[in-house]
Amino acid sequence: MSVIRLVISMIATLLLLAATAPSMAQTDPLQTLVQALPKGGYAEREKVILDLAGTGDPRVADVLGALGKGDLYTLKDSGTVIVATGRGNSLETADPLTGKALGAVDKSGLDKIRVNNRLRRAIDSAVGQLTLMGKDPATRLAAAQSMLKTTDPAAIGMLDTAIAQEDDARVKTAMEQARAAALLKSDAALENKIAAIDTLIAKGDREALAFLTGARSGASADLLPAIESGIKSIEDKLAFWSALQNVWYGLSLGSVLLLAAIGLAITFGVMGVINMAHGEIVMLGAYTTFVVQEVIRNNFPGLFDYSLAIALPLAFLVTGAVGVAIERGIIRWLYGRPLETLLATWGLSLILQQTVRTIFGPNNREVGNPSWMSGAFDLWGLSITWNRLWIVIFAMIVFAVLLAVLNRTPLGLQMRAVTQNRRMASSMGIRTPWVDALTFGLGSGIAGIAGVALSQIDNVSPNLGQSYIIDSFMVVVFGGVGNLWGTLVGALTLGIANKFLEPYAGAVLGKILILVFIILFIQRRPRGLFALKGRAVDA
Amino acid sequence: MTLNLTRRATLAAALTGAMALSLGLVRAADDTIKVGILHSLSGTMAISETTLKDTMLFLIDEQNKKGGLLGKKLEAVVVDPASDWPLFAEKARELISVNKVAAVFGCWTSVSRKSVLPVFEELNSILFYPVQYEGEESQRNVFYTGAAPNQQAIPAVDYLMNEEGVERWVLAGTDYVYPRTTNKILEQYLKDKGVAAEDIMINYTPFGHSDWQTIVSDIKAFGSAGKKTAVVSTINGDANVPFYKELGNQGISATDIPVVAFSVGEEELAGIDTGPLVGHLAAWNYFESVDTPENKEFIDKWHAYIGNDKRVTNDPMEAHVIGFNLWVKAVEKAGTTDTDAVLDAIIGLETPNLTGGIAKMLPNHHITKPVLIGEIQDNGQFDVVWETEGTVPGDAWSDFLPESKMIEADWTAPINCGNYNTETKACGGAS
């Protein structure tokens, strides 16, 4: 009996050895695991990811990083897992472990290895743990930040070792914060936890608040007061910053309003033309940006970051030319007849919309953000997005340039002369029809470059203009017709008022309240914030 | 040009009798069956509806290649209601009484559907409505081939709850009837599941809202309460692009706060760089990326028809495919295009959908659909990460709202009613 059992077990062992030996000789286990990644569903894939992370091999971080970014593919023919990068139809491939280049492969021959949010989280935490001791401080910082997000109490020991070795102050702080967050979740001693709470209070942002509120439920009675006071101190601090943040949001909304309205401040404000097609001219500017980006994408991909700089003068020329054409073709026949002007330009706006819809299709067109306009940065307690910052700066520059043109150039002088007293200007030798056309062209051109900026934050679709036309008139009327400074102050006031109302009243009611406010204001001051005085008003 | 296509064509026919369209009309009197297409080709909704008009023309063309219907050729009559709700009713009346169409495929927004309902009832014609909607309706003359809330919203919330472990919810929507009703249903459903009132934040924005800074930062703040948070978005149309751009810029990634959207499909994503959005979700009953032979055949034929292989396909297109096929089957079964006969014949008919299942027309005029949850990919497509086992029957009246849970719709004898109250055993709704 026992002999037979012994023999059987010996045979079994031999068979097992025979089965495993060759495979061990051929490939290393890491390779096997990587090749197993595409198999099965998300649950199986997650297990493989954990196994890969468990090997602790530094090469794993790159493989998982590629997987998280969606750069890991299988070759359709052989099923081999490879890394593929690049844009377009032909991708550069490489071996995921050795990084050896394997040449270009057509996209149709590749299958992407899919990941979902759960896998992405598993990957982030695995990569964080694997790169915590990396050579580059930036890698270590990213690792510490991703460990802060995953907060795994099991990683405390690893963080302790890392902190002891760390000499970069920023990375060290991030690691200590990650450790503190993990400590709060663990069953560490009370004084350690209180120290952890202090670390988080020092961090003092929303993330820290999230950890403290998360720890509140299920905290012991000894710990609760420390957590409560921590939450309170962070909340107080955030309340202060959120007021400032609101001012910033208001400024940024205000500068969008300013951009949309500033062209109208010329055509409507200075010339007195009720131009309902103003929004569509803004839209044409946005479409010019789209066309420029499309040409760049197809022919000179390297220039993409400069696309907006190229689009700006082009948009000014295109929309300026359209403006001159509109003035010469339609508006000059209608001076002094506001109702007809309104109807004609309204019809024109529909024609422009439908033309764009026929040429470019009814769908949104993709206008990309150059890299310097993507993302956000933190300034003390404020979070500022790059695209909004650039738009605020851009709006101010446009305003300053326009002011200079109107006040310091011969053209500006003639424009003001014509609008103030047409007959006198004419008898002084100014060609008034010519100045009218140029003024309208200038207003339209400015609307066009506003379109370039708006394409960065809004849809580029045929309806783009409609959403701005009401706001534009509102700003110009509120600020005072015929006064650029009024437009600036009006736009910023409305922007900030809107953003302070929004948190309390909601976006819908906030907008209604602003409209009601403007109606009441116009009742009291029909000429807006900064009324023009003198004879021009009665002309 | 598109504005008055049919009126002009009729004029052209009367005057000259030349050109292809008018030839069609001259012949139309006896040997064609006319199909009305009521989708906006201009105005704000053109962005979504133009593709559906093309889809219908494509389907009719395909059917004619197969020999038409009842031995007659099908003929499309296209009108443009120009995103103007009252004009929808006018154009519907024109299609039915002037052009004598056998059935109409059209509408997108709920308000446009509500505006044409009385017309279809009065003139006793048939409407196929292809868009996901808020439910709480079942009309004798309308077939709802889009999703009811239980075929989209509820499974999506279940997915987030079970798979992502979400405990805190932001219900964000555009301020009109579909988001408001859907959010009312979802709020009740979440509360039934034990979610506390302070863990639900509801936010409405105007149509075309473009400044999302405050709301996105509110969502960020709401999400920092130590519980996993998700956003359920019923934000409609154009407002989505700036919303997603702001999410991306403020650094809210799908692994932190996932957003599941009910109105964002392949068409809407076409205008955005989806790089920063990878992992955000959408719930639909169809995705272009679904890998089935039926879908591949459909996409290939569609690209060949439209002559552009970059054109995406989406959920309402599939709904029109199903609706059209069911109507064709019903007409064949009834042997006539007569409204009453088709209404009777269509109940219980089945046709394959494009995702490998079967769509069946139910007595409440809704259909069975699978529910798919997809994650946005960096190529603007969705990757299915979860789907229901089998199909879900559409429920016209939500079981989660106290005022509608006892109401059923059944358009077969003996009930024959769109709002049958199972408690009072009477037709006529809750009151």
All residues of chain B having their beta carbon less than 8 Å from the beta carbon of residue A70 are 278, 377-378
- The three-class DSSP label of residue B162 is helix
| Range with lowest mean pLDDT among A102-111, A333-342, A428-437 | A102-111
Higher pLDDT, A51 or B87: B87
Instruction: Please answer yes or no on whether A124 and B255 come within 8 Å at the CB atom.
Output: yes
Instruction: Give residue B7's pLDDT.
Output: 54
All residues of chain B having their beta carbon less than 8 Å from the beta carbon of residue A212 are 226
Residue A185, CB half-sphere, CA atoms under 13 Å: how many?
A: 18
All residues of chain B having their beta carbon less than 8 Å from the beta carbon of residue A249 are 211, 213-214, 217
- The three-class DSSP label of residue A72 is strand
Task: Work out the pLDDT band at B230, boundaries 50, 70, 90.
Answer: very high
**Largest CA-CA distance found in chain A, in angstroms, rounded:** 128
Tell which phi-psi region holds residue A364, choosing left (phi > 0), alpha (psi between -120 and 50) or beta: beta
Among candidates A362, A365, A511 on the partner chain, residue whose Cβ is nearest the Cβ of B206: A511
Instruction: Please answer yes or no on whether A118 and B175 come within 8 Å at the CB atom.
Output: no
| Range with lowest mean pLDDT among A2-6, A534-538, B143-147, B374-378 | A534-538
Instruction: Give residue B16's pLDDT.
Output: 45
Cα A113 from Cα A65, distance rounded (Å) = 13
Instruction: Please answer yes or no on whether A363 and B242 come within 8 Å at the CB atom.
Output: no
pLDDT (mean) for A444-449 = 94
pLDDT tops 60 at residue A384: yes
Q: Which of A209, A215, A207, A214 is nearest to A232 (CA)?
A: A209
Q: Nearest 10 degrees: CA dihedral of B127, B128, B129, B132?
A: 150
Cα B103 from Cα B34, distance rounded (Å) = 8
* Residue A31: exposure state from Cβ atoms within 10 A (0-12, 13-18, ≥19): middle
Task: Name the CA radius of gyration of chain B, rounded.
Answer: 22
All residues of chain A having their beta carbon less than 8 Å from the beta carbon of residue B377 are 70
Higher pLDDT, A207 or A324: A324
pLDDT tops 60 at residue B24: no
Write phi, then psi, for B128 (nearest 5 degrees): -105, 120
| DSSP per residue, A377-389 | EEETTEEEEHHHH
CA distance B399 to chain A (A): 30
Ranked by mean pLDDT, the top range of A128-137, A221-230, A396-405 is A396-405
Higher pLDDT, A202 or A314: A314
Q: How many C-beta atoms surround the C-beta of residue B318 within 10 A?
A: 28
Higher pLDDT, B431 or A228: A228
pLDDT tops 90 at residue A198: no
Looking at 3.30.1330.40, 3.40.50.2300, 3.40.630.10, 3.30.70.600, the CATH number of the domain B150-290+372-393 comes to 3.40.50.2300
Instruction: Give residue B17's pLDDT.
Output: 40
Among candidates A256, A357, A365 on the partner chain, residue whose Cβ is nearest the Cβ of B271: A365
What is the fold of B5-148+292-369?
Answer: Rossmann fold (3.40.50)
Instruction: Give residue B73's pLDDT.
Output: 93
* Residue A189: exposure state from Cβ atoms within 10 A (0-12, 13-18, ≥19): exposed
Instruction: Please answer yes or no on whether A459 and B242 come within 8 Å at the CB atom.
Output: yes
**Do the domains B5-148+292-369 and B150-290+372-393 sit in the same CATH topology, yes or no?**
yes
All residues of chain A having their beta carbon less than 8 Å from the beta carbon of residue B209 are 507
Instruction: Please answer yes or no on whether B268 and A385 come within 8 Å at the CB atom.
Output: no
All residues of chain B having their beta carbon less than 8 Å from the beta carbon of residue A365 are 271
Residue A431, CB half-sphere, CA atoms under 13 Å: how many?
A: 5
- CA-angle at B39, arms to B33 and B44, nearest 5°: 170
What is the fold of A241-538?
Answer: ABC transporter involved in vitamin B12 uptake, BtuC (1.10.3470)
Instruction: Please answer yes or no on whether B245 and A253 come within 8 Å at the CB atom.
Output: no
Cα B123 from Cα B118, distance rounded (Å) = 8
Ranked by mean pLDDT, the top range of A107-111, A456-460, B79-83 is B79-83
**Per-residue pLDDT tens for A124-151?**
888 887 887 777 888 888 888 888 877 7
**Disruptive mutation site among A206, A364, A372 for chain B (greatest number of B CBs within 10 Å):** A364
Instruction: Output the six-digit token pair for A534.
Output: 């003198």
All residues of chain B having their beta carbon less than 8 Å from the beta carbon of residue A353 are 42
Instruction: Give residue A315's pLDDT.
Output: 95
- Residue B322 contacts residue B351 (beta carbons within 8 Å): yes
CA distance B332 to chain A (A): 36
- Residue B156 contacts residue B91 (beta carbons within 8 Å): no
**Disruptive mutation site among A69, A117, A217, A293 for chain B (greatest number of B CBs within 10 Å):** A117
**Per-residue pLDDT tens for A13-41?**
555 554 444 444 456 778 888 888 888 77
**Per-residue pLDDT tens for B122-141?**
999 999 999 999 888 999 99
Instruction: Please answer yes or no on whether A42 and B385 come within 8 Å at the CB atom.
Output: yes
Partners of residue A378 on adjacent β-strands: A383
Among candidates A207, A362, A503 on the partner chain, residue whose Cβ is nearest the Cβ of B218: A503
- Residue B116 contacts residue B84 (beta carbons within 8 Å): no
Among candidates A210, A217, A366 on the partner chain, residue whose Cβ is nearest the Cβ of B270: A366
All residues of chain A having their beta carbon less than 8 Å from the beta carbon of residue B250 are 376, 383, 385
- Residue B32 contacts residue B298 (beta carbons within 8 Å): no
All residues of chain A having their beta carbon less than 8 Å from the beta carbon of residue B279 are 116-117, 120
Task: Work out the pLDDT band at A539, boundaries 50, 70, 90.
Answer: very low
Instruction: Please answer yes or no on whether A121 and B238 come within 8 Å at the CB atom.
Output: no
Size of interface A-B (CB pairs under 8 A): 147
Instruction: Give residue B323's pLDDT.
Output: 96
All residues of chain A having their beta carbon less than 8 Å from the beta carbon of residue B220 are 206
Among candidates B42, B204, B272 on the partner chain, residue whose Cβ is nearest the Cβ of A506: B204
* AA identity, residue A21: A
Instruction: Please answer yes or no on whether B226 and A368 come within 8 Å at the CB atom.
Output: no
Task: Work out the pLDDT band at B9, boundaries 50, 70, 90.
Answer: very low
- Structural domain spans, chain B: 5-148+292-369, 150-290+372-393
Instruction: Please answer yes or no on whether B213 and A252 come within 8 Å at the CB atom.
Output: yes
| Range with lowest mean pLDDT among A84-93, A455-464, A484-493 | A84-93
pLDDT tops 70 at residue A86: yes
Among candidates A117, A386, A498 on the partner chain, residue whose Cβ is nearest the Cβ of B164: A117
All residues of chain B having their beta carbon less than 8 Å from the beta carbon of residue A503 are 214, 218
Q: How many C-beta atoms surround the C-beta of residue B304 within 10 A?
A: 11
CA distance B231 to chain A (A): 14
CA distance B336 to chain A (A): 37
- Percent share of chain B, pLDDT over 70: 92
Cα A281 from Cα A284, distance rounded (Å) = 5
Q: How many C-beta atoms surround the C-beta of residue A14 within 10 A?
A: 10
Instruction: Output the six-digit token pair for B287.
Output: 């995705």
Q: How many C-beta atoms surround the C-beta of residue B350 within 10 A?
A: 14
* Residue B365: exposure state from Cβ atoms within 10 A (0-12, 13-18, ≥19): buried
* AA identity, residue A464: L
pLDDT (mean) for A309-327 = 95
pLDDT tops 50 at residue B424: yes
Chain B residue with minimum CA distance to A209: B224
Cα A475 from Cα A464, distance rounded (Å) = 18
Instruction: Give residue A392's pLDDT.
Output: 94
Q: Could you tell me the pTM of the whole model?
A: 0.81
Instruction: Please answer yes or no on whether B271 and A462 come within 8 Å at the CB atom.
Output: no
pLDDT, mean over chain A: 84
Residue B98, CB half-sphere, CA atoms under 13 Å: how many?
A: 14
All residues of chain B having their beta carbon less than 8 Å from the beta carbon of residue A253 are 211, 213
Task: Work out the pLDDT band at A437, boundaries 50, 70, 90.
Answer: very high
All residues of chain B having their beta carbon less than 8 Å from the beta carbon of residue A245 are 217
Instruction: Give residue B431's pLDDT.
Output: 52
Among candidates B175, B215, B271 on the partner chain, residue whose Cβ is nearest the Cβ of A460: B271
Instruction: Please answer yes or no on whether B238 and A362 come within 8 Å at the CB atom.
Output: no
- Residue A59 contacts residue A97 (beta carbons within 8 Å): yes
Q: Nearest 10 degrees: CA dihedral of B158, B161, B167, B171?
A: -40
Instruction: Give residue A532's pLDDT.
Output: 66
Instruction: Please answer yes or no on whether A457 and B250 come within 8 Å at the CB atom.
Output: no
Burial string for B116-147 (b: 16+ CB within 10 Å, else e) reads bbebbeeeebbbbbbbbbbbbbbbbbbbbbbb
Instruction: Please answer yes or no on whether B268 and A364 come within 8 Å at the CB atom.
Output: yes
Instruction: Please answer yes or no on whether B226 and A383 come within 8 Å at the CB atom.
Output: no
All residues of chain B having their beta carbon less than 8 Å from the beta carbon of residue A386 are 249
Instruction: Please answer yes or no on whether A209 and B224 come within 8 Å at the CB atom.
Output: yes
Among candidates B42, B220, B238 on the partner chain, residue whose Cβ is nearest the Cβ of A461: B238
| Range with lowest mean pLDDT among A108-112, B47-51, B167-171 | A108-112
- Residue B259 contacts residue B280 (beta carbons within 8 Å): yes
Ranked by mean pLDDT, the top range of A241-255, A451-465, B327-341 is B327-341
Q: How many C-beta atoms surround the C-beta of residue A246 within 10 A?
A: 18
pLDDT, mean over chain B: 87
pLDDT (mean) for B381-404 = 89
Question: In residues, how long is chain A?
Answer: 539
Q: How many C-beta atoms surround the C-beta of residue B258 within 10 A?
A: 21
**Per-residue pLDDT tens for A114-124?**
788 888 888 88
Instruction: Give residue A21's pLDDT.
Output: 45
